[in-house]
Amino acid sequence: MKLFDVYPINDITIARAKDSYVWDENGVQYLDMYGGHAVISIGHAHPHWVQKIEDQLNKIAFYSNSVQIPIQKELADKLAKLSGKEDYQLFLVNSGAEANENALKLASFHTGRKKIVAFKKSFHGRTSLAVAATDNKSIVAPVNETDNIDFLPFNDEEALKKYFEKNGPNVAAVIIEAIQGVGGINIATESFLQLIRQLCNEYEAVLIADEVQCGYGRSGKFFAIDHAGINADIYTMAKGMGNGFPIGGILIAPQFKPKHGLLGTTFGGNHLACAAALAVLEVIEQDDLIEKAKQRGQYLLNKLKKVDGIENIRGLGLMIGFDVPEELKDLRKNLLLHHNVFTGEAKPNVIRLLPALTINRKQMDEFLEALLEAINELRSEQSVQVSDTTEAS
């Protein structure tokens, strides 16, 4: 049987991984500055994470949510402590898309309204409501199309005010990534986030912070929206939450009252997923990784700003992006194929860096050296091409 291959990026097969490195089936080592798409928060195969899952596997791997699962409460308590959201409620799912799907559904239940506000260049997932709230027509199937979701310009306070003046009483929720990942590492201003909070309060709409990619310490705060000094009504999480083990969740403010059948999941919050997520929080706390993400991210940002050739360097913590000019359009490919470095991208010309929060200075310097070499190689190729063209003419 052939795979339904929707990711025809390259032919590299990753066979094993450790810390901030991965190895292919031929034993070639790669530096992972992509974190498996921001998933690897405490490093590949962290020994505490491995042990925690193994210990749980030897007890019980799964039973349904029709019975009490004590490790869910243990995870909730640790999450409350580190996030500061002690009075919130936790509902566990399996992915970021599922977290956003449930958050949007809960907001509509709570308000009795249909209208959702999302933003240009947003990405919230590929399930029905989540993909409809994603600003990418190429992945929205006809069945997902709806008139209930409006996309506003990111960081445009005047457009936001005018929209609410006209539509405020119909808005169920505003969903926003404080740092847009897939959109290209676009950072919401503190004043923009504060205005959203103000308008949601005024019109009794629900503020959903999509922290699937930018949360869990990556920005140098537990949640990226924390930089604005505000609270969301619902926080959605996934990616770095399980360090590669599939788990997602939503943190729900106390004004939302649970009732039987409101939300549901088969595999969400299973024993193994909770063990993985608990291990992540324990390592984050023990190793002070949120503060280290802030410091390491600032070091990397400062170094990148001295690199000649790349543009518009931005980021918070270890969520960093920069633009690549047309003459360096093959930079990401060059880094991967010639320098054994994985990075992310965002169209049309953005390179995204989403390494594990455990990355060290030596590994960051290794990346910076590879980046400089890759830029110089591409410039040399451009120079040769120009020279050949000149001679031919």
pLDDT score of 7 more than 80: no
- Whether 200 shows a pLDDT value over 50: the answer reads yes
Domain boundary assignment for the chain: 14-45+288-392, 47-286
Is the pLDDT at 390 greater than 70? The verdict is no
Q: Does domain 14-45+288-392 have CATH number 3.90.1150.10?
A: yes
User: How does pLDDT run across 348-364, given as a tens digit for each residue?
Assistant: 899 999 999 999 999 99
Task: Determine the pLDDT at residue 9.
Answer: 59
Residue 10 banded pLDDT, cuts 50, 70, 90: low
How far apart CA 203 and CA 176 sit, in angstroms, is 17
Residue 211 tokens, joined: 């922290």
- Name the least confident of 70-74, 335-339, 372-376, 383-387: 383-387
The domain over range 47-286 is classified in CATH as 3.40.640.10: yes
Specify the pLDDT at position 5.
77
Token pair of 166, please?
A: 């006209």
- Is the Cβ–Cβ distance between 300 and 353 less than 8 Å? yes
Percent of the chain with pLDDT over 90: 92
Q: How far apart are CA 146 and CA 22, in angstroms?
A: 41
Q: How far is CA 163 from the centre of its chain?
A: 27
Residue-by-residue DSSP string for 12-70: --EEEEEBTEEEETT--EEEESSHHHHT-SS-BT-HHHHHHHHHHHTT-S---TTS--H
Specify the pLDDT at position 45.
Answer: 98
Evaluate if residue 267 carries a pLDDT over 70.
yes
- Average pLDDT over the chain reads 95
Mean pLDDT of 317-340: 96
Q: Is pLDDT above 80 for 389?
A: no
Q: How confident is the model at residue 387 (pLDDT cuts 50, 70, 90)?
A: very low
Beta strands in 192-340 (DSSP E): 206-210, 234-237, 248-252, 311-316, 319-323
Nearest Cα neighbor of 368 from 317, 298, 301, 323 is 301
pLDDT digits (tens, 9 = 90+) for 28-76: 999 999 999 999 999 999 999 999 999 999 999 999 998 999 999 999 9
pLDDT at 388: 52
pLDDT per residue as tens digits for the range 70-116 = 999 999 999 999 999 999 999 999 999 999 999 999 999 999 999 99
Rounded mean pLDDT, 7-30? 89
Task: Give yes or no for a contact between 225 and 211, defined as CB atoms under 8 angstroms apart.
Answer: yes
Q: Select from 325, 324, 378 the least CA-distant residue to 353.
A: 324
Model pTM score: 0.96
Which of the four pLDDT bands, split at 50, 70 and 90, describes residue 212?
Answer: very high
**What residue has token string 């591409």?**
378
Q: Is the pLDDT of residue 384 over 70?
A: no
Burial (0-12, 13-18, 19+ Cβ within 10 Å), 231: middle
* Amino acid making up residue 48: H
Give burial (CB, 10 Å; 0-12/13-18/19+) of 128: middle
Question: How many Å apart are CA 353 and CA 300, to the nearest integer?
Answer: 10
> What span, in angstroms and rounded, lies between the C-alpha atoms of 125 and 133?
8
Instruction: Give the contacts of 9 (CB within 8 A, at least 6 positions apart).
Output: none
**DSSP summary character for residue 267:** S
Question: Of 205, 143, 217, 220, which is closest to residue 175 (Cα–Cα)?
Answer: 205
| DSSP-assigned letter for residue 308 | B
